Amino acid sequence: MTAFALDGSRILRSTRSSISETFSERKSMYPAPFNFIRVGSFSEASAVLAADPNAKAIAGGQTLIPMMKLRLLKPALLVDLRGISGARDIALGDDAIEIGALATHVDIAGSDIAERFSILRDCGQGIADTQVRNMGTIGGSLAEADPCSCWPALLVALDAQVLCEGPDSRRVQGVRELLEDAYTPALEPGELITRVAIARQALEGYGTFVAFKRCAPAYPTASCAMQIAYDGDRIASLRMGFGCLDLTALAFDEGSDIAAGRQATENLVEDVAEAASIFVEPFADAKGTAEYKRELARGLVKRAFGIIEARRLGRPAVETHQYYG
């Protein structure tokens, strides 16, 4: 009995120590203390953000909150944008589609416009999981400038623009200029993205967004957006963008030079896929080597061509998001 009691006390001390260590580690999963306010307009939000360098805007929070829980970000003040009226609107105009910055992924994927332009539906409905799709916003996705997010790859392919509002002015800039570096959007202090505009001309023809990922909630290992306009059975223009394969989303404009005037034959698809695999500049990480990711880019190009050609001919198309593991 004495021996058992001694062993038991050792076990108890060990367990208490383990619990204490675990609790200490888990404390870091809670955000640092912060204040919180809700605003009614972008101009109000912009003024608050410009006045306080330790403030951060929050809409869906699907990127910001995890970074706060890891204490990679420690804002002293969160400025909630969700009360801004009309900021989730999606409108089809004569020249462009305009999407409010606070439109969620599911807002876009379930809209009448997405039914008409399948590339938008493919992208929105394949992002992460139900929670992220219902809470995450297109403006937040762009403002975080995460190179693995889905919307940036699509929007650079379509050469979309964003309306930005600062404390004293408004301006329009291209998404390609906005995403100047990983996690570093070209926004001035206090400046916010308020709307995204995609030219109707960029959405002519048929399109898709395809991704290869470990599981539904994960970021893709590689993604590809493709939109093809046709002149009869020949390609008039081809727009392409890649995600997760560099420090920013990549627009592959050279693909249109290769494809213009040609039919979507196996040879044409091989030519574009080969050029794309050379064009991308992937880096090795836990998801795979650079060469592996180049092969993924090649495969996604072929997959996108297959889906678009099936849609053009009125045939069933394969799934746009493929999971493994």
The SS3 assignment for 285 reads: strand
Alpha-carbon distance 120 to 215, whole Å?
21
The Cβ of residue 153 has, within 10 Å, a number of other Cβ atoms equal to 29
Token output for 175: 């998404």
Alpha-carbon distance 123 to 106, whole Å?
10
Min mean pLDDT across 18-32, 189-203, 242-256, 264-278 is at 18-32
Average pLDDT over residues 26-55: 91
User: 4 pLDDT exceeds 60?
Assistant: no
Whose tokens are 């009125």? That residue is: 314
Q: Which amino acid is at 41?
A: S
Pseudo-torsion of CA 54, 175, 146, 87, nearest 10°?
A: 60
Pairing of β 170-174 and β 206-213 = unpaired
Residue-wise pLDDT for 182-192, tens only, equals: 999 999 999 99
User: 307 pLDDT exceeds 50?
Assistant: yes
**pLDDT tier for residue 28 given thresholds of 50, 70 and 90:** low
Q: Residues of the chain with pLDDT > 90: what percent?
A: 83
Do 178 and 143 contact (CB within 8 A), yes or no? no
Token output for 97: 């589609």
Alpha-carbon distance 84 to 276, whole Å?
41
With CA atoms as reference, report the closest residue to 191 among 49, 37, 40.
Answer: 49
User: 280 pLDDT exceeds 50?
Assistant: yes
Alpha-carbon distance 168 to 170, whole Å?
7
